[in-house]
Amino acid sequence: MKRITIYDVAKEADVSLATVSRVINDSRVVREDTRQKVKEVIERLGYKPNAVAQGLALSKTTTVSIVMSEKLLAYNAKILNGMMDVAHIYNYNIMFYTTSKGISKMQDVIESVIKSRVDGMILFNDNFTQEEMDVLNEYKIPMVVVGSRFEGERHDHVGNVYVDFEKLAYDLVKDCFAKGIDDIALMEDKLNLSMMNQMKKGISRAFEEEGKTFDGYLSYNDTYRTSYEFYSDYLKDHKPNRLNIAFRDSQAIAILNAAREHGYSIPEDLQIITVLDDKYLPMMRPTISAYNIPEYDMGAIAMRVLTKMLVAQDGDKLEKNIEIQAEPIERGSTIHYEVKEEAA
Amino acid sequence: MKRITIYDVAKEADVSLATVSRVINDSRVVREDTRQKVKEVIERLGYKPNAVAQGLALSKTTTVSIVMSEKLLAYNAKILNGMMDVAHIYNYNIMFYTTSKGISKMQDVIESVIKSRVDGMILFNDNFTQEEMDVLNEYKIPMVVVGSRFEGERHDHVGNVYVDFEKLAYDLVKDCFAKGIDDIALMEDKLNLSMMNQMKKGISRAFEEEGKTFDGYLSYNDTYRTSYEFYSDYLKDHKPNRLNIAFRDSQAIAILNAAREHGYSIPEDLQIITVLDDKYLPMMRPTISAYNIPEYDMGAIAMRVLTKMLVAQDGDKLEKNIEIQAEPIERGSTIHYEVKEEAA
DNA sequence: TTGTAGGCGTTATCAA
DNA sequence: TTGATAACGCCTACAA
């Protein structure tokens, strides 16, 4: 069961190992007939180059790591798929790391990432502290932060692929004002705190521009059950807000179920819009409006940016910061008004 | 920016690299004061052992790969979390591979897995052919197949952590018979074909034991949209079956929505039960019954079995095949009958 | 076009 | 208890 090595191939093909190395690396200096001979032997022996040895020899592992929190994993399958596909196209392997509260802290992950000498990494925003970022910065590992706008210091080795949630929220609220709605609630989502903050900022900015103050931030726990109970409770001594902004599906569904059970109808009494779309939203009755965030693309772009960073020479200018556009999708949980665009 | 190596540490600490190697590997033969000295230097220089070089020297990478299909990723977050946590506990890194129709075929993945010299791998069932398995078998890579019962040849290097869907389906149908229901439909799920087949087998076996034939297999496409349309159509010239078995949430929800829109009420006119539970099922109205499959544990167990296989000596007997129990969860979409158990 | 030899960063064996 | 030194499997000048 001994794994066969480049030596075995060389001996069998009666050439030196350098030649074998050349053919497996597609060097063009090797004569056609010897190339064929070597290839035949490789095939016959079933030789597979040892990537570990290659990595050591080249100081380059052609693997990049992706690290995200376990909690977010369930919501980011598409983004992950985008990353995986692009990584595969560029022949990068993926070292996958998750962080979880009890078991595996970001610190451990960073330690592992450094030891395994990956060429670069992708980090999900909301998943690291400034301290942790500092460690990473010491090692100057090329990385791209994905999700929301990265608000830390911009080093040359970090890129950012993001949705501008501040702007999204701002635009949404401005739009509501134009429709005469200013009774707005934003449901907290503890899973995405920095995104949450950016949303809050955007909403507040819109309010302030009208000389108003936003006070519709509803803070509670982060599961469906607790959201549902919270909102059921809330409705006992509040009327529902006219527009309710939820971040994820389960919050939106919690509002929907609780409101209906309190005799309210949607969208007449209250409207609901979710930020992150999801296949479950159109399964609800009524269907729930959301934003179309091209998650797969976002992952794909993030990985592509990273691969570009990895091959870039010093001095190459490349766009490491890319904003992803999110478009509203109107469904049954919001009322459609005439679009107020002036230009055709 | 040169990465510092064991040599740098050795020189700085004024010992040989062998000694440094000993302290980072917790060898007990090194004198306490030199250990301290070396440790201090390691700390000061921020030295991190190069896992690639270690891998080469030891012929052991302490990484295992997980490979699953992109489509399944969205449904298997918990199982993945279980695997990741256990891997982390045992200090294994994870090489993550996904297969997708257009981009990355199983064959490529196998190629990569072999090249990267992982110590073992976890495969999701329904994601490989016999041929591919044959390739893997040649290399005798320790692996565990997770999900459903593995029906291929049992080599010594493959384990299996699974839910017995045949039995689950059989028991469910027997139960129905006992309640006087024999009008049963099973919705096809193209994402999980081998599980589907095992379900079908179990149902058919139960029917045959009663001298009946099962003909309620409803086959169609695999998205919510198409399921919904299919079932809406189906209801135009069929009455709904009394019991409808769905595999995943979206199929169950499709049935629920379509049936209600046709004026049927649930569970009075038709009952629905889903195999794979999910947080969305209890959000529906009515809430939808399902089975409790401990997914996180399943992943954790699978990874644990793999790690055990990796350290096992030849001749060690260890339980590589583990069945995971699934318990029914009764919710609003099924009618609760008195349990017919005899023993208290 | 091919081969030789040194290096990539560790671990392990054997002496000292 | 420590230190040389030979692997581990590959790549790449440099020489032939």
Q: What is the pLDDT of residues A102-127, one digit of tens each?
A: 887 899 999 999 999 999 999 998 87
The pLDDT of residue B340 is 44
For residues B96 and B83, give the distance between their C-alpha atoms in angstroms, rounded to a whole number. Answer: 11
For residues B133 and B124, give the distance between their C-alpha atoms in angstroms, rounded to a whole number. Answer: 12
CA B130 to chain centre: 19
Of chain B residues 8-37, which have a beta carbon within 7 Å of strand C?
17-18, 21, 24-25
Contacts of A136 in chain B (CB under 8 A): none
Q: Which residue has the higher pLDDT, B127 or B60?
A: B60
User: Nucleotides on strand C with an atom closer than 7 A to protein CB?
Assistant: 1-5, 7-13
The residues that bridge with B246 in the sheet, in sequence order, are B274
Residue of B nearest to A74 (CA): B77
Say whether residue A105 is in contact with chain B using an 8 A CB cutoff. no
Q: pLDDT band at residue B343, thresholds of 50, 70 and 90?
A: very low
Contact A85/B94, CB-based, under 8 Å?
no
Q: Which residue has the higher pLDDT, A189 or A87?
A: A87
Count other Cβ atoms within 10 Å, centred on residue A139.
Answer: 15
Q: What is the pLDDT of residues B288-326, one digit of tens each?
A: 999 999 999 999 999 999 999 999 877 778 899 999 999
Residues in B 232-271 with any Cβ partner in A closer than 8 A: 249-250, 253-254, 257
* Interacting residues of B57 by C-beta distance below 8 A, sequence separation 6+: none
Contacts of A98 in chain B (CB under 8 A): 80-81, 84-85, 88
> CA A281, B75, B93, B323: dihedral to nearest 10 degrees?
150
DSSP letters along B250-311, please? HHHHHHHHHHHHTT--TTTT-EEEEEE--TTGGGSSS--EEEE--HHHHHHHHHHHHHHHHH
Q: pLDDT band at residue B262, thresholds of 50, 70 and 90?
A: very high
Q: pLDDT band at residue A2, thresholds of 50, 70 and 90?
A: low
Q: What is the pLDDT of residues A168-214, one digit of tens each?
A: 999 999 999 999 999 999 998 888 888 999 999 999 999 999 999 99
Spanning CA of B18 to C1' of D7, the rounded length in angstroms is 14
In angstroms, the separation between the Cα of residue A285 and the nearest Cα of chain B is: 8
In angstroms, the separation between the Cα of residue A260 and the nearest Cα of chain B is: 11
CB B82 within 8 Å of CB A104: no
User: Which whole number is the average pLDDT over A293-297?
Assistant: 97
A233 phi/psi in degrees, rounded to 5: -60, -50
For residues B97 and A103, give the distance between their C-alpha atoms in angstroms, rounded to a whole number. Answer: 23
A13 phi/psi in degrees, rounded to 5: -90, -5
For residues A72 and A99, give the distance between their C-alpha atoms in angstroms, rounded to a whole number. Answer: 10
CB B297 within 8 Å of CB B324: yes
Asked if the model's pLDDT at residue A147 lies above 60, the reply is: yes
Residues in A 53-82 with any Cβ partner in B closer than 8 A: 53, 55-56, 61, 63, 66, 70, 73-74, 77-78, 80-81
Asked if the model's pLDDT at residue A338 lies above 60, the reply is: no
For residues B42 and B49, give the distance between their C-alpha atoms in angstroms, rounded to a whole number. Answer: 10
The pLDDT of residue B112 is 96
In angstroms, the separation between the Cα of residue B210 and the nearest Cα of chain A is: 38
The pLDDT of residue B339 is 47
- Classify burial at B174, counting beta carbons within 10 Å of its beta carbon; exposed 0-12, middle 13-18, buried 19 or more: middle
The pLDDT of residue A1 is 52
Angle CA(B164)–CA(B156)–CA(B312) in degrees, nearest 5?
A: 105
Helix (H, G, I), strand (E, B) or coil at B48: coil
Question: Whole-prediction pTM value?
Answer: 0.93
Contact A77/B73, CB-based, under 8 Å?
yes
User: Which whole number is the average pLDDT over B191-218?
Assistant: 94
User: Between A224-237 and A249-261, two packed helices, what is the crossing angle to 10 degrees?
Assistant: 40
Asked if the model's pLDDT at residue B106 lies above 80, the reply is: yes
Residue with tokens 């004026």: B263
Asked if the model's pLDDT at residue A313 lies above 80, the reply is: no
For residues B59 and A118, give the distance between their C-alpha atoms in angstroms, rounded to a whole number. Answer: 19
